[in-house]
Structure 1
């Protein structure tokens, strides 16, 4: 294998570890803990001897597994007696002692018997000679390291001693090959099937089942019991598991069992198969609540509705109206009849009242002198959001989160809802800052204001000149000075025409300017709305949309990791 190339087990373990991290806070803690244990246990097992196959003999009280263990090894190692339980601690029969110590330490097996030669039984000599020969060949100079076989006799799975059951349960998750020994009286034991065989059904590739004590049955009964046992195993998900009939007392079927164990050990793949099964089982547990759906996500319409709701809640409409009023007020100050402009100057600018008038040179100079021109410290004086506005914003956020998570499992939908509200404490302040920092062009006038302003002053000057002329003529007549009469046009004195014309032109100019002011105010309001929505949309995307999309991407990565860990792709 190339240096950077991963084995299938490496790939699946990495995928399971990634899925475990991605599922934190979103998947049941029990499933996460189980997956983490699988990753940890696999790492520990792979650091130990890869050339030893560990076979565990499990069974209920009275199944005769210790007697079968002795028959298989050909040694009187395990104590078999009428009293129960007879096996208090696990016992190991070891072939190929080299490298087995750390593995047995990890298994916490203290009773160890190192055996030489094949298992007892003349019929098994060839099989075990080939097996031992392959081990010795590897040990003497082959490219592979030496290996061996470890057979464990374990406490009863239904022992009255709690410690015994705990040991059996622990080692059922650690051994490479599981041999389940049952007897004709208790082969359908509920504890064995419900607590062990059914939960471990994913490990059918490294599982053997032995019906022991068949010497107590007739041939017809053996066939009946085996058929019943296979039916129960099929219900447990173990329909294809090899089932052996044996008798530790007479030796019937022991040779076939020896050969089956020898073949498993000779393949030297049982440990990898067991770990692969563990990974698949853990991945299935992590994805147990996954309905297989894909979240809908946040579409453009949903995001636009969210921005609309946040804009309403942030007082955008109030600001837009203030922009219109501010434009009209400033236009009146700059283009109105100069004599009455003071009336417009008395009125307070609505944008300045909201703390949003920073566009002209006076406000900029004032902000620079006070050190408050930094957009990051701008705040508005908008009224506090009403309960209806807050409810509208909350409802919009909730609607976006619910719609985005539609199709995902409930635990991930809940995570998506939490992501949508992950910044709800900072959201009002950031929305206010977005409003206050928007470029509203509040201090910018229209180019035609200057033209109208000049014309208004010219009309006023004409009227003033006419009044002054008429005043001089009246004063001269009063003082009885003889002055030539004022020139006229079509019979109308020019001073009178200046006064009347200047006043009429000023009023007409004001009337003609009003539609332009309304049009300019509307355009300025539309610009302000676009800029305000743009700022609020940026906040909504950064604080609501992106966290939700990140959570959806996390769910997608979780599903990909589960698929890789379970071998679906």
Structure 2
């Protein structure tokens, strides 16, 4: 029996391999060297001559070697697959800087294969027939084609290379993609208009044995299975439960159930209802593999039994296969299943356990830690003390001010060495405070994120913290020259010595004076004048210059002596509120400046990583067609 190839309408070829066939149903003389006196008929030229002698119309058919190549019509694919592929492409693009190439390799392969498949004919469905050694897949291939195309027999392996049979023209590009050469491309035997019409658009590929002893055979099986639109797995009663089949192929391809046919062949060898029992056990194994079965109208794998040798059940398979091909959705289903598999492999690097992000509490704690590191609280207390000290200098009695000046001069003159800088322990403590703040906010921000994105968040926080202590130092130095509201100016040192500077009270500039200060100064000056006037009056009476009357000048002098401290005490009491507000304002300004510095260097880069993760998470949700409200 011969077959017409789709490489040329007049070409007739024989089997793909010239191995000696020993199995039943073979053409006895196909591929044999004739004995003496017999006709030499195994060459290509001889077969062409014989075919043209049997059909004179073939004489006018053009030869396959000079036939121009066919041009396939590209039909753009629509439906939900296109946005999923676009989302996957965007997902890969957004993730290249965060994920390694090995993680994205499968997604990239799916995109490449999808682009290659969509450029080719959508009118054809490429179906591979795969199976183990001796399962009868080549016999089933020949039975569906109605021609002795693929060699069958007891010699193993019989099928050495993928062999294709196309029911219609225009599949050359698809077969080129499968790397099936022209010499291994066939056309089926024309067995009737109805049969040909049912399988119109089918491209059937017979694969080598997946358990072949030859490594190159198994490699070809794996390569072609990754490119075809659907696959028919042929199993026999002896090897249907083979672990190599289930663990290496069926279980990993469980997500491709809608484009999978599992055929129990050789049921003619089973007595009675043993075929039903074996078929039920096969369904059980497929269910354990996670492969959905297309039963009761649900989508899934098609499982059936037949005998390719006797033809029992082959008609049913042909009918099911014909409906499958005429739907012309196998390529889209295959690509959709590939996208699902790629998305499932990427799930650990995109799906978080909870809702990652930085809450307001974490931000406030980070700001508090930076404020402690820069000494904002101590600086506020020092500013408050300086405000009250300045109030004491302005409203105090001149004699007390003179005494304080004397004491400060005496203490400064007794110092033989200048003040030493803050000890290294304090500097180390301040830097450790900054590092602890960054570490805490990085842990909080990365909590619940997938590994690569958690690592990206930590790296962003660490990189931002590299110059944070120095930036806080510069910030504290600038704060000394900047005016706070109401004209106040506070000088503090940075992270390296904020604590010691604040406690030492090194605050420069004059705090703002309330409106009542001139009246207080005038009252204190009046008390001083009363003391001087009363004293002079009393001295004049003592020396006899003035008339004696000690009570009045004594009372005047006593009023000045008592009124001066009273005015100073009243000013000190009145200054407590403004001094406290002044210190709080100085602390607030330095705290906000430190928080702004930390936000710009640490929190904003961390937030940018969160935004990037949410963006890729939305793209991943579009790939998997799930809602973004989930984890």
Give the TM-score normalised by structure 2.
0.69
1:531 alignment partner, one of 589, 595, 614:
589
Distance in 1 (CA, whole Å) between partners of 2:213 and 2:189 is: 32
Distance in 2 (CA, whole Å) between partners of 1:261 and 1:310 is: 70
Structure 1 counterpart SS, 2:164: strand
Distance in 2 (CA, whole Å) between partners of 1:26 and 1:85 is: 46
Structure 1 counterpart SS, 2:161: coil
Q: 1:97-137: CA deviations, max 9, x gaps?
A: 32x33333332222455555x65555xx41423554xxxxx
- Written as runs of structure 1 = structure 2, the 5 A alignment for 1:110-129 is 110-111=181-182, 121=191, 125-129=193-197
Change (3 A) 1:414 1:29: same
The question of 1:278 aligning with 2:338 is answered yes
Distance in 2 (CA, whole Å) between partners of 1:459 and 1:311 is: 44
- Written as runs of structure 1 = structure 2, the 5 A alignment for 1:441-452 is 441-442=488-489, 443=509, 444-447=511-514, 448-452=516-520
Do the aligned partners of 2:167 and 2:199 also contact (CA within 8 Å) in 1? Answer: no
- Written as runs of structure 1 = structure 2, the 5 A alignment for 1:123-138 is 125-129=193-197, 132=200
Shift of 1:277: 1.1
Shift of 1:334: 3.4
Q: 1:419-462: CA deviations, max 9, x gaps?
A: 54452213323333444444542244212333333444454455
Q: 1:20-44: CA deviations, max 9, x gaps?
A: 4555577786553222221222122
Structure 1 counterpart SS, 2:464: coil
Structure 2 residues not aligned, in runs of 5+: 1-76, 295-300, 410-420, 490-508
Distance in 1 (CA, whole Å) between partners of 2:547 and 2:461 is: 81
Structure 1 counterpart SS, 2:152: coil
* Correspondence for 2:395: 335
Change (3 A) 1:330 1:83: farther
- Written as runs of structure 1 = structure 2, the 5 A alignment for 1:202-241 is 202-238=255-291, 239-240=293-294, 241=301
The question of 1:14 aligning with 2:86 is answered yes
* Correspondence for 1:74: 146
Change (3 A) 1:6 1:128: closer
Change (3 A) 1:112 1:212: farther
- Written as runs of structure 1 = structure 2, the 5 A alignment for 1:327-366 is 327-338=387-398, 341=401, 343=404
* Correspondence for 2:27: none
Choose 72-81 or 42-51, whichever is displaced more. 72-81
1:304 alignment partner, one of 360, 364, 382:
364
* Correspondence for 1:102: 173
Change (3 A) 1:425 1:219: same
* Correspondence for 1:191: 244
Shift of 1:467: 6.5
Distance in 2 (CA, whole Å) between partners of 1:111 and 1:86 is: 20
Q: 1:314-335: CA deviations, max 9, x gaps?
A: 2222322321233234334433
Distance in 2 (CA, whole Å) between partners of 1:389 and 1:63 is: 76
Distance in 1 (CA, whole Å) between partners of 2:203 and 2:217 is: 20
Structure 1 counterpart SS, 2:340: helix
Choose 328-337 or 197-206, whichever is displaced more. 328-337
Distance in 1 (CA, whole Å) between partners of 2:360 and 2:325 is: 60
Change (3 A) 1:171 1:453: farther
* Correspondence for 2:304: 244
Distance in 1 (CA, whole Å) between partners of 2:78 and 2:394 is: 77
Shift of 1:236: 1.3
* Correspondence for 2:104: 32
Shift of 1:273: 0.9
Distance in 2 (CA, whole Å) between partners of 1:523 and 1:60 is: 87
Change (3 A) 1:67 1:345: farther
Do the aligned partners of 2:88 and 2:623 also contact (CA within 8 Å) in 1? Answer: yes
The question of 1:509 aligning with 2:509 is answered no
1:88 alignment partner, one of 142, 145, 160:
160
Count of aligned pairs between the two proteins: 505
Distance in 2 (CA, whole Å) between partners of 1:45 and 1:384 is: 68
Shift of 1:547: 4.2
Distance in 2 (CA, whole Å) between partners of 1:70 and 1:121 is: 13
Structure 1 counterpart SS, 2:261: strand
Distance in 2 (CA, whole Å) between partners of 1:112 and 1:389 is: 79
Do the aligned partners of 1:315 and 1:382 also contact (CA within 8 Å) in 2? Answer: no
* Correspondence for 2:125: 53
Distance in 2 (CA, whole Å) between partners of 1:503 and 1:261 is: 117
Structure 1 counterpart SS, 2:155: coil
2:203 alignment partner, one of 123, 135, 150:
150
Distance in 2 (CA, whole Å) between partners of 1:346 and 1:554 is: 63
Shift of 1:178: 1.2
Shift of 1:206: 0.8
Superposition RMSD on alpha carbons, in Å? Answer: 3.7
* Correspondence for 1:376: none
Q: 1:280-315: CA deviations, max 9, x gaps?
A: 222222225777743264333333223222221222
Do the aligned partners of 1:93 and 1:112 also contact (CA within 8 Å) in 2? Answer: no
Distance in 2 (CA, whole Å) between partners of 1:195 and 1:21 is: 31
Do the aligned partners of 2:234 and 2:263 also contact (CA within 8 Å) in 1? Answer: yes
RCO higher in structure (CA 8 A, sep ≥6): 1
Structure 1 counterpart SS, 2:232: strand
Change (3 A) 1:225 1:505: same
Structure 2 counterpart SS, 1:151: strand
Structure 1 residues not aligned, in runs of 5+: 133-147, 349-379, 478-483
